[in-house]
Each structure stands twice: as C-alpha cells, then as structure tokens.
Amino acid sequence: MVTAFAPGSIGNVCVGFDMLGLALAGVGDRVTAKRTGTAGISIAEVRGLDGEVHPSLSTEPDQNTASIAARALWQAHGDSTGIELLLRKGVPLQSGMGGSAASAVAAVVAVNALLPESLPHEQLLPFALEGEKYASGGLHADNVAPSLMGGLVLCPAVLLPRMMQIKTPTGVSSVLLHPEMQLDTAKARRSLAKGYTLEQWLSQQAYLAGFITGCAADDHALIRQSFHDVIIEPQRSAAVACFDAVKEAAMKADALGASLSGSGPSIFALCMDSNAPHVASAMEQACRSSGIECQSWVSPMTAPGAHVEDSQ
Amino acid sequence: MVTAFAPGSIGNVCVGFDMLGLALAGVGDRVTAKRTGTAGISIAEVRGLDGEVHPSLSTEPDQNTASIAARALWQAHGDSTGIELLLRKGVPLQSGMGGSAASAVAAVVAVNALLPESLPHEQLLPFALEGEKYASGGLHADNVAPSLMGGLVLCPAVLLPRMMQIKTPTGVSSVLLHPEMQLDTAKARRSLAKGYTLEQWLSQQAYLAGFITGCAADDHALIRQSFHDVIIEPQRSAAVACFDAVKEAAMKADALGASLSGSGPSIFALCMDSNAPHVASAMEQACRSSGIECQSWVSPMTAPGAHVEDSQ
C-alpha cells in the first residue's frame, strides 16, 4: 500500500500559455494505491480534505483523471493483478489550480511504486498526461509537469515528452488566491479567439523569452518587465469578477507580476519572499471587497514535486 | 581619428523573428570618424573591401545608416564641431547578413570615441537603431544588438532598450552561406501574412523557449529539436531558389539546424565546431549545384561585437 502526494500548480504562469507551469506548496491531492486480486484499476473512494466522501467526484474509473492515468501506467508496465485507489482531494475543484493534474500525478507516482519494475520519476509524464487529456480535452502538460517535477517547468506540446526545469530566481515566492467560484476549463478553452496578429505573437513570445532569461539571471527588473499576458488574460479575465481588483492590489503591494492561474478563477502573483504575506493579505482584502470569499497559499518557486509519502 | 569595426550578424536565428540575433566573425563594416570644423555629419567616402569606391552606396548623409546613426549620437552628446565618416563595407549588400546594422554600429562606436564624454558601449544601441530604422522601416534590433554586443542576443522590441546576452552552447559554430543574389528586406517584410493561428504561435514560442533553454544547458539535442521556424521561413524561403537544397545539405552534414539569415538570401546553419568545415563545404556544393555562386563564413557563436580597432 503506497500513498503519494502531488501538488497543485499554476498553469501558463502568465507568459507561457499551455507550456509553462509552477508547482504550489502545501496544497495538493493524495492517492493511496493497493493491490487487489481483481485485474484492472478501481477507485474505492474519493474524499475531500475534511475526510468526508467527496460530494461531486465520481468513483467511476473512466471518469477520474487518477484512475485513467493509473490505468495507462498499469496496462503498460503492471502485471495481471489489479489496483485499488483511494483519492483524497486537497485541491479545490475547477479552481484553476491544477487539481485534475495533481490527482493524475499522485496516482501514477503511487502506482509506480507498486510496479514490478518502477520507472524513473520523469518517465511518468506520458501516463499522467493521459488523465489530463480526459479532463481538458487536449495535450497540455503545464499542470502535470510541475506537479510531477516541482518548481518551474517548461513543457510545450511540440517538445513533449521533454520537459525542461527552468532555474527559478532566488528569493521569489508565488501567492495564489482562490476566489470561491468555479470555472469550466474546457469551456474557457473553447471560447478563445482563433486568429492572432504578428504583433500579438511577437510581444507574447518576447515576454516568455524575457521571463525565462530573467529567472535564470536573477534579474527581478526583467521578470517584472516581462510579466505580461497580452493574448489570453484579456480574453479570460472578464469571467472572474474580482480579477482586476485583485491584480491591482497585488501590483500595488509591489508584486513582480500577477495573472490568472490556468484559466482561472484563481489569481496568482510572484513577489519577493519577504513581501509575500503583505501581497497575500492585499489580494485577499481586494477579493473580499468584491464580495467574494477566498483562500490563499504562499509557495516558494522551488516547491517540491510529487513524492511517495508513505509505503507499507 | 578613430576606426571601429562592427560584425555582420544573423537576424532571427530561425526561432526568434525580430528578437534574436547572432554575431558573425571576420565579416563586417569599418567606419573611420574624424573631426572637422564644419558642424554636422558628412560622409567623405564609401568604399568596398577591394578599396574601390562602392558602386551603389550613396555618400548622402540622409541615405546611409552609418551617418544617420552617427548624427543621432552626435546631436545628443557631441559638440559644435562636425564629424566626417569614411565607410568601408565588408558585408555584401542586401545579403541578409545585417550590413546596414553593421554600418550603423561601426559608426556609433567610432563616433562615441570622439565624444566629449564617451557613453558605455551598451548605451549606444538606441543611436544605432536610428540608422537601422531608416534601412528596414521598423524597430528591429536583431542585427544591431548582436553587432554591437557580440554573441547571441535577445532583443525584442517590447523590452527595448534592454537586450539580453544569451549563454551560447559550448563548442557550437555558425556557418553562413551567402548565395550571390540580393533580396530587398523591406519588401520581404511587407509580404508577410497578417494573421496567424494559436497553434502556429504556440509552436514557434515553444521553439524559441526551447532553444534558449537548450543553449543555456548545453543541450544539443534540445537545440536540434527546437530549431524550427514554422511561421516566417515557409513564407520567405521560396524567394531563395537554392534554399531547400542548401538546408538539406546542412542537415545531412549533421548540422543542429539551418534556416534563412534575416530575410535571406543568406542561409545559415549551427553545428559543432569540429564539423563546421564539413557543413560549410556541403552547403557551398549544394548552392553551386543549384547554379548559384556563393561564399561562406564560419564563426564561433561567441563572436565578438563591435570595437575600436585604431585610434590616433
């Protein structure tokens, strides 16, 4: 019996739509996997953090990213016995915090420990992606990759299965604010514009390249100058009523930048470690002033990836 | 009297349209600047490498990137005397090798040495860009920045006047092949498509990010996997009859990648230092087999930028 933890994550990270992700600390999903005599993958139960049976998630193995990912791995490398999963959701549903990816990653990390021959950690990516594909309808690794590997990860579709750990700047944290509302990621994706100008593309590409270069060089001014999403954020932010107020509050509190986490509704900021409590409280206050209850998490940009917590 | 040399350069470098440039070695323009009693900037002569008066370049100060750039610098930081320029062109005209940028950069570096108070080298960028603006009709630093700074430089319009030196991978050279034909850069730019899909943008952005990450990590496999231009090259390569044959020859000779230099007609490849003579000869042979005479240059990716050669 093995229990694995996989963190939630910030998809896109403002500058890298579909290809950049950042792991969170202290919020994630747990999967316990144990062998059964019956072949195949089953889900024994799905519970929330409070220990109660989860009100909305199904235990149907075809409808859960954890079991879909676990099955892909077990079919490729398992044996003739079966696996039963117990899923404990720590990431709020449809929060834009990479919850479906965290479930898939926790499941493959737990099941990997039960394989006749375990795979190297980074080789679990394609199996976890099978689960994510079910959830988002496409091949986007920007939540799965940071949840698996930790830290800041570049993982564009055209370079998969490669993923590149990006050096994070010293002394920078993320602040993630989750407003208590839900958004449908797949729907958010379908509503994106189809066509873009050369100028839009060049600006956004420049910001991604500037951000990566700024991170590697510990150049906070360059990170700040590059932290803009001129393409996706303007299309999505209107769906999150408190977005403008929360972003403005973060910037006024001297954050390096702020944007939507994934397709929202969560909003995140990057800021110096020492300033994180101040930024978090400014963002929370702005959100509540918009009439929306919220919760926030502070994570170092070096937050660790998924790992086995308990094995017996 | 000061003489400065500024190298030619590879604009775009395949993955970074308008925002990435790589300095060449051993090919560039020279500008000699001397004070005169007459206020303003004049051009005494423009000669080719053979020492003869250049057959097509004008000595009209409003029509030469060297004098336009020198004038911008002198007007901002000079005195009431004047400057006379002697320009020696080493970069072939309309070759896609950054010749107009090299003239502008050599001019500002020479004139800078005559200023009452010389500026730090990197602060010359905006003045050199004034010349380039005249030549290309836009604010593109991808030739001026590498010519000024040397090596591989990231310099997107939205981040100017910042430019970021990108760590180059160890042991990698560029091979630049100049087919004896000319292309009009400004015309090539006007003929680009106006609209692009989300998928095109994401692929190209991924390749730029992958290339920069691969360079920093000395990861040749990642450089190879990322070295694609899915947007601009397909629109421009048809204007260069030998392009497909030369690129194919470079790749068969085990180059890491190959593409147009700037808007062409020059074609470049990146390859391991030890393999550069082989790649250069394969590219030359393919070009001549297409019935086009050519010349090639091999440069380390760390080629130096502009500098004062002689001062008296």
Under a CB-based contact definition with an 8 Å cutoff, are residues B140 and B157 in contact? yes
| 8 Å CB contact of A197 and B202 | no
Q: What φ, ψ does residue B94 adopt, rounded to 5°?
A: 45, 45
Hey, what amino acid is at A30? R
A40-47 and A82-88 strand pairing: parallel
Q: Under DSSP, is residue A15 helix (H, G, I), strand (E, B) or coil?
A: coil
Q: What φ, ψ does residue A198 adopt, rounded to 5°?
A: -55, -40
How far is Cα A51 from Cα B134, in angstroms, rounded to an integer? Answer: 68
Q: From the list A195, A197, A206, which residue is nearest B19 (CB)?
A: A206
Q: Where are the beta strands (DSSP E) in A37-159?
A: 40-47, 82-88, 152-154
Q: Which of residues 155-214 of B touch A (CB under 8 A)?
A: 156-159, 162, 164, 166, 192-198, 200-210, 212-213
| 8 Å CB contact of A159 and B192 | no
Q: What is the pLDDT along chain B (312 residues), one digit of tens a residue?
A: 999 999 999 999 999 999 999 999 999 999 999 999 888 899 999 998 888 888 788 888 888 999 999 999 999 999 989 999 999 999 998 899 999 999 999 999 999 999 999 999 999 999 999 998 888 777 899 999 999 999 999 999 999 999 999 999 999 999 999 999 877 766 766 788 989 999 999 999 999 999 999 999 999 999 999 999 999 999 999 889 999 999 999 999 999 999 999 999 999 999 999 999 999 999 999 999 999 999 999 999 999 999 999 888
- CA distance to partner chain A, nearest, from residue B13 (Å): 14
Q: From the list A158, A202, A213, which residue is nearest B154 (CB)?
A: A213
CA atoms within 13 A on the CB side of B188: 24
Q: Which residues of B touch A209 (CB under 8 A)?
A: 16, 19, 154, 156, 208-209, 212
The ipTM assigned to this model is 0.92
A301 sits in the region (left: phi over 0; alpha: psi -120 to 50; else beta) called alpha
How far is Cα A64 from Cα A56, in angstroms, rounded to an integer? Answer: 11
Q: Which residues of B touch A158 (CB under 8 A)?
A: 202-203, 206-207
| 8 Å CB contact of B206 and A162 | no
Name residue B35's beta-bridge partners: B83
CA nearest to A195 within chain B: B197
Select from B194, B213, B227, B229 the residue whose CB has the most chain A CBs within 10 Å, as the one to mutate to test that interface.
Answer: B213
This prediction's pTM = 0.94
Q: Which residues of A touch B156 (CB under 8 A)?
A: 202-203, 205-206, 209-210
Q: From the list B166, B204, B225, which residue is nearest A159 (CB)?
A: B225
B40-47 and B82-88 strand pairing: parallel
What are the structural domains of chain A?
2-166+303-311 (3.30.230.10), 172-300 (3.30.70.890)
Structure tokens, A146: 């940071």
Under a CB-based contact definition with an 8 Å cutoff, are residues A255 and A173 in contact? no
Q: How many CB atoms lie within 10 A of CB A59?
A: 17
CA nearest to A227 within chain B: B159
CA nearest to B201 within chain A: A201
Under a CB-based contact definition with an 8 Å cutoff, are residues A294 and A250 in contact? no
CA nearest to B15 within chain A: A205
